[in-house]
Amino acid sequence: MADNNNLITKRKKEHLELCLTDKVSFKNKTNGFENYDFIHCAITEVDINKIDFTTSFLSKTISYPFIISCMTGGTEEAENINLRLATVASELNIPIGVGSQRRSISNNKYDNSYKIIRDKAKRVPVLGNIGAAQIVQLKEYSNLQRLVDLVEADVMVIHLNPLQELLQKEGEPNFIGLLQSINNIKKKLNVSIIVKEVGSGISFYSAKKLLEVGVDGIDVAGAGGTSWAGVEIMRNKNKKYNQFWDWGLPTSYCIRNIHTLKEKYNFSLIGSGGINDEFENAKAFALGADLTASARIILQTLNNSGTSGVINLISSWFDTLKKIMFLTGSNNLPELRDNKIIKKENLY
Ligand SMILES: Cc1cc2nc3c(=O)[nH]c(=O)nc-3n(C[C@H](O)[C@H](O)[C@H](O)COP(=O)(O)O)c2cc1C
């Protein structure tokens, strides 16, 4: 067990180190947002000063529909990062995810590295996190309830990372019973469920299956941002699986397609995967996202410019979003989602 714990600490450290660089970005595949442009509205009748992003998420009022994506926990270094990320979430009044809580299933030594998020960000929605590989092996639902209680999670996020499990030396690429497990968790735990990828995206078909087993939200975490194949290939120092580096469905494609499921299902659609600037953020909303989320750019900005840097980054993205809404004649996000974006190929 001690060895296993040391291995996990080492792995988490390596993940953080690699994600502070841009070496783990997708190489040739993009998130696809550059293929779209906004439709300029010369007859806009919007008052920019009246645009307000305050909304409700998981029964709490938040100031921006933006989530600090699930990233870390389970080490001392993670505790410090989570404390600072929680400060940002609290100041901006936005939701924040904790990293995989797998470590707390078998060992409570690092519980505080997760709990610190709830301690610091008391009012905001906090997202718990556990992986597909863990839930398919779960014997006791009380173990999962403990993770929810630990951070007083408003929702439990289940991350689907088949590509990462496949390429990770210590990975567990066996997801038999996944949908049934999600369904059981939904029935047995008194908490909402969001399912997310980690950078390979979720297809229309997969999303539909997930909605049929009752998930409350889908975070596409599409291709074009952080490549978790890239992270594991770099950790393994083995280029054998290089062709998987760019595996996955681009973020824009996932949002656009999964959005159409809104006609039949009631769920929150979160757009993420390489949302690294204000226009990508705005285009994710225009294509159908209810909320957006980012991970690596947040970690990098925290590292380079501290909590104030992250606060400035997120607020400036939403300032620009207001300008784009003014120029497209959108008083609110539902109006921005209504035919305000066009594929560039249709402009010429
Ligand atoms: C350092 C780091 C650690 C991460 N750990 C987790 C995790 O524990 N659980 C999870 O669901 N996603 C995890 N992710 C994935 C992100 O939540 C996100 O889905 C993915 O990185 C794509 O977003 P991005 O392109 O903005 O980085 C992690 C990302 C980073 C950068």
**CATH of residue 240:** 3.20.20.70
> What is the pLDDT, as a whole number, of residue 238?
82
How close is the Cα of 19 to the center of ligand 1, in Å? 9
Q: Where are the alpha helices (DSSP H) in the chain?
A: 2-19, 76-92, 103-106, 111-120, 132-135, 141-150, 162-167, 178-188, 204-212, 228-236, 251-259, 278-286, 296-327, 333-336
Give tens-digit pLDDT for 230-274.
Answer: 999 999 988 889 999 999 999 999 999 999 999 999 999 999 999
% pLDDT > 90, the chain: 93
Where in the sequence is the domain holding 42, given as residue range(s)?
Answer: 2-347
> What is the pLDDT, as a whole number, of residue 7?
84
> What is the pLDDT, as a whole number, of residue 1?
43
> What is the pLDDT, as a whole number, of residue 2?
46
92 phi/psi in degrees, rounded to 5: -85, -10
Give pLDDT < 50 ranges for the chain: 1-2
**Contact 90/102 with Cβ under 8 angstroms?**
no
Q: Which protein residues touch ligand 1 with a CB less than 6 Å away?
A: 15-16, 19, 69-72, 99-100, 129, 157, 159, 196, 198-199, 221, 225-226, 272-275, 294-297, 299
Residue 1: count other Cβ atoms within 10 Å of its Cβ.
7
How close is the Cα of 199 to the center of ligand 1, in Å? 8
How close is the Cα of 70 to the center of ligand 1, in Å? 6
Q: Which helix (H) or strand (E) holds 100?
A: none
Residues whose CB falls within 8 Å of the CB of residue 258, separated by 6 or more in sequence, listed in order: 202, 204, 207, 218, 220, 269, 288
> What is the pLDDT, as a whole number, of residue 19?
97
**Contact 193/186 with Cβ under 8 angstroms?**
yes
CA–CA separation, 57 and 291 (whole Å): 9
pTM for the predicted model, two decimal places: 0.98
Tally of domains in the chain: 1
**Nearest CA residue ID for atom 6, ligand 1:** 71
> What is the pLDDT, as a whole number, of residue 9?
87
